[in-house]
Amino acid sequence: MRVEHLYRYPVKGLTAEALEAVELHPGECIAHDRRFALVQGDAPFDEAAPRFLPKQNFACLMANARLALLASAYDARSGMLSLRVPGEPPLVADTGSPEGRAAIAALLTRYLGEEARGTPRFTEAPGHAFTDQRAKGVSLVNLASIRSLEKATGLKLDPLRFRANIYFSGLPAWAELDWVGQEVLLGGARLSVFKRTVRCPATQVNLRTGERDADVPRLLREHFGHADLGVHATVVEGGKVALGDALEALENAA
């Protein structure tokens, strides 16, 4: 098995950032993955005491398909975020300043229109990641499983619909779903797979058009009897992971 693509998503719901290599750390996500989010005005999120909240508390593709049309780029060294609304000049703002965060929140709130609730704010919380899981970790998708879904449905699906961190090849379709409870060697790191990834309406969204053009959760259930594609894992031992690195699923010791 081989790593084909690596991604992180600095702002929840926005553009994927392709990576050539990452350094994984025990019990953590990929650095800067889901670091920022637009928190809806009625969400009970407290930056001083951050905790996991369901995705509907934030701007996300599940609820806000039009986010797919925004182009974002984050510079981790400077803290600057570029946001481009179709047909408009880009906004470049400092995520580390109150003024910059306010400008980003204002643009996103205007863009969401009626989908924005109350007075949303663009935020981060030290040590917190706005992921869809209570446990920090990484998500993995088997490209063969996507191809199997495409073959069953006759659709062409952009793998980025599934917003995974690690896309890999070299494993039969759906075999990764049996990894739950097992460990995986990934480059120089070791992972523990703790759950299948149940797919939500975010995967319905065509990332080029911003339209919901394929009901992926329904299609998975219809053709395969479940709504799962990919797995989530925690990092047990840290290390470097790069494109082309090998994956190896370890057999249970029991």
DSSP per residue, 41-67:
TT----TTS-----GGGB--TTT-GGG
- pLDDT-above-90 percentage for the chain: 94
Residue numbers of the chain with a pLDDT score lower than 50:
253-254
- As a whole number of Å, the CA-based R_g of the chain is 18
Q: Are 171 and 246 in contact (CB under 8 A)?
A: no
pLDDT at 253: 46
pLDDT at 254: 43
Query: Residue ranges per domain, the chain?
Result: 2-28+133-250, 37-123
Class of domain 2-28+133-250: mainly beta
Distance CA 214, CA 211 (A): 9
Distance CA 105, CA 114 (A): 15
Distance CA 236, CA 185 (A): 10
pLDDT digits (tens, 9 = 90+) for 121-149: 999 998 999 998 889 999 999 999 999 99
Specify the pTM: 0.92
pLDDT at 248: 94
Q: Distance of CA 240 to CAs 6, 175, 183, Å?
A: 12, 25, 17
Phi, psi values for residue 155, rounded to 5°: -100, 155
pLDDT at 252: 66
